[in-house]
């Protein structure tokens, strides 16, 4: 029986890092992708089946070279697109063009570029694409317009991809997490302001963790292939909806 090969982007931190570990522990050979080589090397030390591959997912030529590397190693049957993120909480009236451009480039174009490069392998393997979007792709909120716009776009692309690839028996899954407390997401969004980043989670009893989401990712890509968990929304119980978060204390 040949080893299953998974590609996980955004693997240097948070949900991507946890997902790479979860898939390696589930028996996959995992190519862990992110820009920060030192973080990937540290991750690879935690499991022998994780292969670090430093890469900017928006660099089309580099992504194509990477896809060829994986093809020569046997070809991927699972692609997990997690690379992305948010920058800023400004309302549209004060929106920073550079932040919006960054969010669109990484969340949308990066996902497209990597998926396009790997689709020949995934079609040959009758494999799986899993895109991590967000509940920010379901409903807008004040201060979220740029991230909303990027995640609505990534969600639209994912839904179209599912229709386009059905004839190739490529399964397309979307995981939409709500409030997840990770090391860097809110810190990046708040421009490195640790106090502002922690206020996002203040008083919230048990926000989701990266490992919680990684468990869902692992499950979604390991159920029998004819079972497609098209859309999985997960939130902490304290976040009943995007606009309702129970805070204690």
Task: List domains and CATH numbers for the chain.
Answer: 5-245 (3.40.50.720)
CB 88 within 8 A of CB 96: yes
Q: Which of 31, 147, 201, 219 is catalytic?
A: 147
pLDDT, one tens digit for every residue, the chain (249 residues): 458 999 999 999 999 999 999 999 999 999 999 999 999 999 999 999 999 999 999 999 999 999 999 999 999 999 999 999 999 999 999 999 999 999 999 999 999 999 999 999 999 999 999 999 999 999 999 999 999 999 999 999 999 999 999 999 999 999 999 999 877 676 677 777 677 778 878 889 899 999 999 999 999 999 999 999 999 999 999 999 988 999 987
Other beta carbons within 10 angstroms of residue 227's beta carbon come to: 8
Match 């309302």 to its residue by tokens.
91
Tokens 């860097």 belong to 184
**Residue 147 known to be catalytic:** yes
Decide: 122 and 137 in contact? Cβ < 8 Å.
no
């Amino acid at each position: 029986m040949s080893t299953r090969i998974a590609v996980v982007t955004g693997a240097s931190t948070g949900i991507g890092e946890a997902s790479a570990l979860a898939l390696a522990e589930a028996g996959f050979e995992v190519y862990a992708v992110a820009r920060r080589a030192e973080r990937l090397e540290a991750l690879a030390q935690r499991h022998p089946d994780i292969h670090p591959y430093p890469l900017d997912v928006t660099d089309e030529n580099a992504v194509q070279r990477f896809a060829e590397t994986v093809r020569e190693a046997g070809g991927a049957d699972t692609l997990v697109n997690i690379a992305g993120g948010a920058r800023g909480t400004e309302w549209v009236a004060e929106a920073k063009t550079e932040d919006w451009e960054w969010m669109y480039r990484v969340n949308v174009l990066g996902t497209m570029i990597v998926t396009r490069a790997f689709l020949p392998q995934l079609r040959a393997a009758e494999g799986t694409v899993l895109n991590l979007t967000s509940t920010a792709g379901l409903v807008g909120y004040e201060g979220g317009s740029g991230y909303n716009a990027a995640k609505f776009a990534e969600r639209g692309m994912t839904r179209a991809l599912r229709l386009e690839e059905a004839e190739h028996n490529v399964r397309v899954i979307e995981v939409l997490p709500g409030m997840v407390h990770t090391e860097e997401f809110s810190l990046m969004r708040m421009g490195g302001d640790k106090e502002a980043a922690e206020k996002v989670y203040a008083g919230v009893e048990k926000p989701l963790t990266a490992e919680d989401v990684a468990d869902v990712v692992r499950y979604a890509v390991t159920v029998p292939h004819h079972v497609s968990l098209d859309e999985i929304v997960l939130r902490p119980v304290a976040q009943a909806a995007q606009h309702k978060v129970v805070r204690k204390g």
